Structure 1
Amino acid sequence: MQNNLSWTPTRRQLMKAGGLGALPVGTAGAAAAEPDDDLITRTVPGTNERLPAIGLGTFMTFDTFSDRHRVREVVRRHWRAGGRVFDCSPLYGRSEVNLGEVAADLRIGDRMFLAGKIWSTGEHLWDDSHAEASRRRTVERMSLDRPVDLMQCHSLVNVDVIVPLLHAWKKEGRIRHLGVTHHEPAYFPLVESWVERAAPDFVQVHYSIHTRAAEERLIPAAAANGTAVLVNMPLEKARLHQIVAGRPLPGFARELGISTWSQYFLKWVISNPAVTCALPATSNPAHVAENVAAMRGPLPDTATRRRMVQHMETIPGFDRIATMPWYPGKRYTGLVSRAQAAIRERSPWWPS
């Protein structure tokens, strides 16, 4: 089943799907330009499946009750530029609902690569009913009539139960690939142990030009075990852009054809040959073009990657990225923010 369902974006497929040709006549984007041949793709280890090197994350940015038009435009532009990988989770409030509705509206749900997540425990140990209900909701929200492309154990929640369950789902044809995720470097040794002993198809990890710990052991372990690598927080949830605001790119970057800071940061990530796909999130349609541009053109070599890090280390605030609040200057008022505000109002303690 896996071979029959594998998705590889050949030129013919990109010509068919890249222009959103399935959109209703008169819908914006129906006459999109044909994707170029130089789209950077990566092979999923152990398969013939190739994925574009830049995907789309949805944490907070898609969690909205009223601004569905903005979500639609972000998805439309990402797809139009050749992006096919979408990462979502029930943890993200209304993000999964909104992504499913937009995918149905744009008629791309049958062609997108969905990286879903299970964030679930149960009524008791080894109770899989909550996880199964979560999987079914994902299938319903995304209007899928096929197995979920990838289902990941989100942040290792209930991992001892969920990973065997994911293997069962894969065997039963409910999902095509399985994976584990985390975004906190403190958990990387534990994630590495699961990569080495649980045979996941994918691992999703926090990796950026600032947060480079994953390249020391975890990413090499994934490469050694034939595990594809998805990258969360490659832009540090807008914190990298915050510290370079108003600053020009270094001359050596422009010599490589890098014209925006988004390209600078994302090309650094995907130039690691073990990285399969980076998943920047954005709520701004104008930023999508900057992000997807990173998967075209040359990538920096090892010496240039080192030079890129050295340049960032000269910029004030770079050493404090990890202590800065996520999405500085932005505010998201979706389901997650509402629930957080409600508990904060009731609780006498809040983390500083």
Structure 2
Amino acid sequence: MTSLTRKEFLKLTGAAGLTLAGGLTTPAVAGTFITKMLKKPIPVSGELLPVVGFGTSQVFNVGRSEEERAPLLETLKVLYEAGGSMIDTAPMYGPAEAVVGDLVARLNTRNKSFIATKVLQNGKQEGIDQMEASFRKLKTSQVDLMQVHNLVDWEIQLETLREMKEKKKIRYIGITHYTDSGTEELIKIMKKEQLDFVQCQYAMNARLVEEELLPLAMERKIAVIVNRPFGRGALFRQVKGKSLPDWAGEMDITSWAQYFLKYLLGHPAVNCVIPGTGRPDYARDNVMAGMSPLPDEKQRKRMLEYLQTL
């Protein structure tokens, strides 16, 4: 089976009646998805969350011009058209929160969005002030998920998050880190505290969380959001010029991005992946990973073994 670049995939999915390599029929016709994204339940509530969302770090760090924001608006449209909802942002991502707030308001899609943001401050009042600013920038009176970012002053901030949850200003609480170096501390907090979500780094070339964090999340009924699912781009560099295996079509995989994302989503502990992109063509490629059945453990092992031969 010949691997498709993201650009080639977009050309195929943007036209009616075309088929993908290996004989797969495109699930999108004239820009509209025939099927909707798979969902997994949030353990603490049972609420169903679409499995592919978008991260906004760097890519939503833009100005106010129509030229800069137009691709981001189209990217969000792809997410909603696919049945997705998760948008993850943070006040330390430059103007990203305000951009998200403006675009969601422009699309009138707050009721279709699961908005997650973060707090990174030392001190109780400082944390409250930052979160109140986030509400204003996001143009919402309630955030779906508030996370203690990189575990900064996590004991104080979690206390505040619980108070805000009781007041229904936030729906879920969580903690985050984006490197393997934070995994040990994430695990310690997960064992000690009752959390709704944990966000961590996980990729086919960064699998430390498979050892203890992911099994613990299942045991403690904590939803898992995956950041950096492409290993900061290293996975794409590894497979450059390489073909997908012939059997990838059996899992409706038509690109390497989908290959990488489906492997992660096949783990029973993972609720959602949040690749960051501001390009509609990449967005369409990413959401396709959540459109069909996910690989079981045997298939995931096969996927990993193949990648390791490249």
Q: Which residue of 2 aligns with 1:206?
A: 201
The structural deviation recorded for 1:227 is 0.6
Cα distance, 1:179–1:35 mapped onto 2, change above 3 Å:
farther
* Equivalent position SS for 1:91: coil
**Alignment: residue pair count:** 278
Q: Under a length normalisation based on structure 1, what TM-score does the superposition of the two structures give?
A: 0.76
% same residue: 32
* Equivalent position SS for 2:43: coil
Cα distance, 1:283–1:243 mapped onto 2, change above 3 Å:
farther
Partner amino acid, structure 2, of 1:68 = R
The structural deviation recorded for 1:34 is 6.4
Alpha carbons 2:80, 2:112 under 8 Å: kept? no
Q: Which residue of 1 aligns with 2:211?
A: 216
Please state if 1:141 is matched with 2:176. Answer: no
The structural deviation recorded for 1:35 is 5.6
Alpha carbons 1:109, 1:142 under 8 Å: kept? no
Alpha carbons 2:53, 2:273 under 8 Å: kept? yes
Q: Which residue of 2 aligns with 1:297?
A: 292
Partner amino acid, structure 1, of 2:170 = I
Deviations 1:228-261 (A, max 9, x none): 1111111123332232223211112123221111
Q: Which residue of 2 aligns with 1:128?
A: 124
Distance in 1 separating the partners of 2:289 and 2:306: 19
Q: Which residue of 2 aligns with 1:240?
A: 235
Q: Which residue of 2 aligns with 1:46?
A: 44
Deviations 1:31-83 (A, max 9, x none): 9746626x310000121310001111111111112511121111111111111
Partner amino acid, structure 2, of 1:36 = T
* Equivalent position SS for 2:229: coil
Alpha carbons 1:232, 1:280 under 8 Å: kept? yes
Please state if 1:60 is matched with 2:58. Answer: yes
Among 280, 288, 293, the alignment partner of 1:285 is 280
Distance in 2 separating the partners of 1:239 and 1:107: 36
Alpha carbons 2:144, 2:172 under 8 Å: kept? yes
Distance in 1 separating the partners of 2:228 and 2:286: 13
Unaligned segments of structure 1, at least 5 residues:
1-30, 122-126, 316-352
* Equivalent position SS for 2:232: coil
Cα distance, 1:100–1:298 mapped onto 2, change above 3 Å:
same
Of residues 161-170 and 210-219 in structure 1, the stretch that sits farther from structure 2 once superposed is: 161-170
Alpha carbons 2:41, 2:49 under 8 Å: kept? yes
Q: Which residue of 2 aligns with 1:23?
A: none
Alpha carbons 1:55, 1:279 under 8 Å: kept? yes
Partner amino acid, structure 2, of 1:129 = Q
Alpha carbons 1:110, 1:144 under 8 Å: kept? no
Unaligned segments of structure 2, at least 5 residues:
1-29
In the TM superposition, 1:93-108 aligns within 5 A as 93-108=94-109
Please state if 1:77 is matched with 2:78. Answer: yes
Could you say which structure has the greater relative contact order, defined with CA pairs below 8 angstroms and 6 or more residues apart?
A: 2
In the TM superposition, 1:315-330 aligns within 5 A as 315=310
Q: Which residue of 2 aligns with 1:323?
A: none
* Equivalent position SS for 2:73: helix
Distance in 2 separating the partners of 1:222 and 1:142: 29
Q: Which residue of 1 aligns with 2:22?
A: none
Alpha carbons 1:109, 1:143 under 8 Å: kept? no
Alpha carbons 1:163, 1:198 under 8 Å: kept? no
Partner amino acid, structure 2, of 1:110 = N
Distance in 1 separating the partners of 2:205 and 2:293: 21
Alpha carbons 2:198, 2:224 under 8 Å: kept? yes
* Equivalent position SS for 2:109: coil
Distance in 1 separating the partners of 2:308 and 2:35: 34
* Equivalent position SS for 1:59: coil
